[in-house]
Amino acid sequence: MVFRRHEWTAKNAAAIAPGILHYPLAEPLANVDDLGRRDDFPLKNFRVENKSGVDVTLIIDPVGGDGGLKFIVPDGQTITSDPNDNFTFHNLLIRNDGVIDILINNIITNVRNY
């Protein structure tokens, strides 16, 4: 159950090599800790901005590096969930589908529990 309205924003703090998996909520800037996961999750909305120069795949609630709900986020595009959709999630995964590294701060992820 969500007790508080909370929003987290993260940028990739290191380069993401081709084929590498990136978990935005594990970034230091996201500042998600165990207490926050217990009190403020599940999440209801997401926004992922790709300024990397390559396409990336966004996977909702990944298991073993894959998942059932996937979105391709082309270079220079932003994907956002519809606040009217009634679904919840607990984690995000971004996979570099290109052939070059994604530079620092080129993937901007925003999630919130409302």
Q: Domain count of the chain?
A: 1
For the record, the structure tokens of 22 come out as: 């990136």
Give bridge partners of residue 71 from the DSSP assignment.
58
The boundaries of the domain holding residue 20 are 11-112
This prediction's pTM: 0.88
Rounded Cα distance, 95 and 107, in Å: 11
Is 75 part of any domain? Answer: yes
Is 2 part of any domain? Answer: no
- Give the CATH number, domain containing residue 76: 2.60.120
**Contact of 32 with 8, CB cutoff 8 Å:** yes
Tell me what pLDDT residue 76 has: 95
Rounded Cα distance, 21 and 40, in Å: 24
Is 3 part of any domain? Answer: no
| Per-residue pLDDT reduced to its tens digit, 68-89 | 899 999 999 999 999 888 889 9
Instruction: Please provide the average confidence, as pLDDT, over all residues in the chain.
Output: 91
